[in-house]
Amino acid sequence: MSVINNLKYIFFCLLTLNHAYAASPNQASMLANTCAACHGTNGSSQGPATPSIAGISHDYFIDAMTAFKEDDRPATVMNRIAKGYTEDQIKLMASFFSNQKMNPTSQNFNSAMVKAGKDLHDTHCEKCHAKGGTVSEDDSGILSGQKTPYLRYTITDILNEDRQVSRKMFKRLRNIHQQTGQKGIEQLLHYYASQK
Amino acid sequence: MTKQSRRLFLKLSLATASSSLLYAPFIHASTSKHVVIVGGGIGGSTAAKYLRLMDSNIKVTLIEPKKHYTTCFMSNEFLGGERDFKTLEFAYSGLQKHGVSIIHDRVISIDTIKQTVKLSSNKSLNYDRCIVSPGIDFKWDVIEGYDETIAQSIPHAYQAGQQTLTLKKQLESMRNGGTVVIAPPANPFRCPPAPYERASQIAHYLKTHKPKSKIIILDDKEKFSKQKLFEAGWKRHYGYGTDNSMIDWVSVSNGGHIESLDAKNRTISAQAQDFKADVINIIPPQKAGKLAFATGLTDNSGWCPVDHKTFESTLHKNIHVIGDSTIASPLPKSGYAANSEAKVCAAAIVSLFNDRDVLQPSLINTCYSLIAPDDAISVAMVYGYDQGKIIKIKGAGGLTPMDAADHMRKREADYAHSWFNNMTHDIFS
Ligand SMILES: Cc1cc2nc3c(=O)[nH]c(=O)nc-3n(C[C@H](O)[C@H](O)[C@H](O)COP(=O)(O)OP(=O)(O)OC[C@H]3O[C@@H](n4cnc5c(N)ncnc54)[C@H](O)[C@@H]3O)c2cc1C
């Protein structure tokens, strides 16, 4: 985002402040509430598979929706849904969901797998997915407490080069996979499933 | 601006936006408003919860005769033998936690002038606004030899509960080599893909337990929802199109229209020929729920015309109609649509009570259909509002691609189950 774009966006926020935002419910919740049937009330998913989007990074949300919209990311329904929204609407939804708190539901995990997964995470992932993947700063996805099948699909897509991520992330994942095989990936998933 | 300072700047502006704006309370008039909701199904229960979430000063009373709601969605999976019936049942205690008053009773009438709702216990309630979501009723008089009493033994299973259990029991006691007839109605009706998902799920059950059996769909239509995807799925799993197909589909032009039923001999007369069946599932044509007729909320079509921005009836002021009873086309009559409509309606009521402009509606519908345990398809659409009408957003939505890979169809099945969990949690918890 350039400085101009930034200012434009903040101006946009101030503008909506006097209109749609001036009351609760507002245009952002109007858009976001329709996501609940699949992603859970306010974006916290009950699972088993659909990811939580509560607490998501504002910029990551916009990137994801834009990628879906342009068919740049493997999808089942999200590419069809994302095409229904303008850039401004996507920004409103990003502001809504990034301001929610994720309430993870409990998932199954095995403690030995969790331990090995934590080591892998600390070595390979922690630098960007900080604090055990609990935070959405640096525009990265929240991994901790995220739904296991969703993370498994995502990693599969990245390893198969069906989904574009940064060169750095691709290399790291490929290294884990080359060194530890699918077992290492599963250990990572157990670790994230164990986190709340 | 550096990346860091930009983040901080953005964060600060969003933080002020969120704390002062997203959660800004209303300044209220001294008396709180009362909304009475008729029907604790998908539309009514969603509206009750979201009204309370959006404005906790509003008093919300929900009237529903049943102590448990049984979802229609995933009831086909129960028929297929892959789901426990108990998982379809939901109590109302979750809504009570949001401060919704629940009265387990039936609404007998609504006085639209005095703005009162009368219950079968003779109790009467005043409302400032009323939301009606009574679901569907059936047109009983269109098939000779078939009526509401006979429907107890020839189940429609189109309002889930005892009806679903009866159909399941009949499938279980059927002989191997038996015939199941499913007879879907003409449009419009509740959940257009559901009869074909049902055929798929029953085929799955029969393939596993009674592989010599057969399903005949006698249709009152020329084509049906997600048809190409269903037919390709049936081909893949159930031999569709071959001599050994478990499913045959008879369109209306091929004589699928049903003329009469001989319930005693389990014989159904379609235009093409008579069919002797072991299990018959007639899904009768439909209209808005009874109370909508009793209140004068319906037009000649048998459904309820509403303002698409607020879902307020165009026939009676201060009454909103949502869910299957309403005319919200191009939205289909689905649970997802009812859930979306309820939120738009709740937001509109909150705005109207507070003399604010009603927001621009935005809605989604996504309907999954399970063809086999790890194989699901979907149809999705995003809806907006233009010139007084709900519209489909151009370029959005559509079907699962015909060439979707197996692993993507498996993902759709996982997402279908997630949809069920999130949807029911969004409504009842
Ligand atoms: C087999 C099948 C599968 C389906 N699958 C899906 C799916 O996968 N996805 C999807 O989105 N949709 C699905 N649907 C559709 C979905 O179930 C309906 O669209 C949805 O239930 C409509 O909600 P509603 O509020 O209009 O009606 P309902 O959910 O039927 O609720 C109406 C409620 O009103 C109550 N009521 C009626 N009259 C009165 C009165 N006088 N006083 C008090 N209470 C009253 C009733 O007891 C009932 O609880 C399916 C439907 C069927 C039949």
Domains of chain A, CATH where assigned:
3-33+56-98 (1.10.760), 111-194 (1.10.760.10)
CA distances from A51 to A44, A142, A152, B212, B335 (A): 8, 10, 11, 41, 21
Sort out which chain A residues have CB atoms less than 8 A from B415's CB and list them. Answer: 38, 49-50, 76-77
Give the confidence band of B17 by pLDDT, cuts at 50, 70, 90: very low
Between positions 307 and 346 of B, the ones with CB within 8 A of A are 336, 339-340, 343-344, 346
Task: Note which residues in 145-174 of chain A have CB less than 8 A from chain B.
Answer: 147, 149, 153
pLDDT tens, position by position, A37-68: 999 999 999 999 999 999 999 999 999 999 99
At B23-35, the pLDDT tens digits run 444 554 447 999 9
Q: How many CB atoms lie within 10 A of CB A162?
A: 10
Tell how strand B214-218 and strand B286-288 pair up: unpaired
pLDDT for the residue B285: 97
Q: What is the pLDDT of residue A137?
A: 79
Average pLDDT along chain B: 94
Q: Enumerate residues 115 to 144 of chain A having a beta carbon within 8 A of any beta carbon in chain B.
A: 137
pLDDT at A139: 83
Residue nearest to atom 8 of ligand 1 (CA): B73
Interchain pair B359, A3: CB under 8 A = no
pLDDT for A1 beyond 50: no
Please give the pLDDT value at position A18: 37
Whether pTM > 0.95 for this model: the answer is no
Local confidence band at A24 (pLDDT 50, 70, 90 cut-offs): confident
Question: Taking 60 as the threshold, does the pLDDT of residue B293 lie above it?
Answer: yes
What pLDDT was estimated at residue A145? 95
Position B323 pLDDT exceeds 70 = yes
Q: pLDDT value at position A151?
A: 97
Q: Which chain B residues are within 8 Å of A48, Cβ to Cβ?
A: 414, 417-418, 421
Cα–Cα distance measured from residue B111 to residue B123, given in angstroms and rounded to the nearest whole number = 13
pLDDT at residue B22, rounded to an integer? 45
User: pLDDT tens-digit profile of B352-392?
Assistant: 999 999 999 999 999 999 999 999 999 999 999 999 999 99
Is there a contact between A45 and B359 if contact means CB atoms under 8 Å apart? Answer: no
3-state SS, residue B98: coil
Q: Is residue B1 within 8 angstroms of chain A, CB to CB? A: yes
Q: Using the atom order of ligand 1, give the atom closest to the CA of residue B325.
A: 26
Neighbouring-strand partners of residue B291: none
Q: Which residues pair with B39 in a beta bridge?
A: none
Q: Is the pLDDT of residue B5 over 80?
A: no
- Whether residue B324 has its Cβ less than 6 Å from ligand 1: yes
A179, pLDDT greater than 80: yes
> 10 Å Cβ neighbour count for A196?
12
**ipTM of the complex model:** 0.91
pLDDT (tens digit, 9 = 90+) per residue, B107-118? 999 999 999 999
Query: Nearest to residue A81, comparing CAs of A142, A37, A49?
Result: A37
**Mutation site, B8, B9, B22, B97, interface A, largest A CB count within 10 A:** B22
Q: Provide the percentage of residues in chain B whose pLDDT is more than 70.
A: 93
What tens digit of pLDDT does each residue of B125-157 get? 999 999 999 999 999 999 999 999 999 999 999
DSSP string covering A132-170: HHT--GGGPPP-TT--HHHHHHHHHHHHTTSS---HHHH
Q: Atom 3 in ligand 1: which residue has the minimum CA distance?
A: B73
Continuous H helices in chain A = 3-18, 27-33, 36-39, 58-69, 78-82, 87-98, 111-120, 130-133, 148-159, 167-194
In chain B the domains, ranked by start, together with CATH numbers, are 3-135+289-428 (3.50.50.60), 141-282 (3.50.50.60)
pLDDT for B68-107, tens place per residue? 999 999 999 999 999 999 999 999 999 999 999 999 999 9
pLDDT tens figures, B219-251? 999 999 999 999 999 999 999 999 999 999 999
Residue A15 pLDDT > 70: no
Paired sense of beta strands B326-327 and B304-305, if any: parallel
Alpha carbons within 13 angstroms on the beta-carbon side of residue B340 total: 28
Contact between residue B181 and residue B279 where contact means Cβ atoms under 8 Å apart = yes
Region B262-267: what's the mean pLDDT?
A: 96
Which pLDDT score, from 0 to 100, does residue B21 have? 44
The pLDDT score that the predictor gives to residue A4 is 53
Average pLDDT of chain A to the nearest whole number: 89
Inter-chain touch B364–A1, beta carbons under 8 Å: no
Higher-confidence residue of A104 and B336: namely B336
Extended strands (E) in B271-353: 274-276, 279-282, 286-288, 304-305, 319-321, 326-327
Give the model's pLDDT for residue B174.
Answer: 98
pLDDT digits (tens, 9 = 90+) for A99-112: 999 999 999 999 99
A24 touches chain B (CB under 8 A): yes
Q: Which residues of B touch A13 (CB under 8 A)?
A: 13-14, 17
Residue B348 reports pLDDT greater than 70: yes
Residue B280 CA to residue B260 CA, distance in Å, equals 12
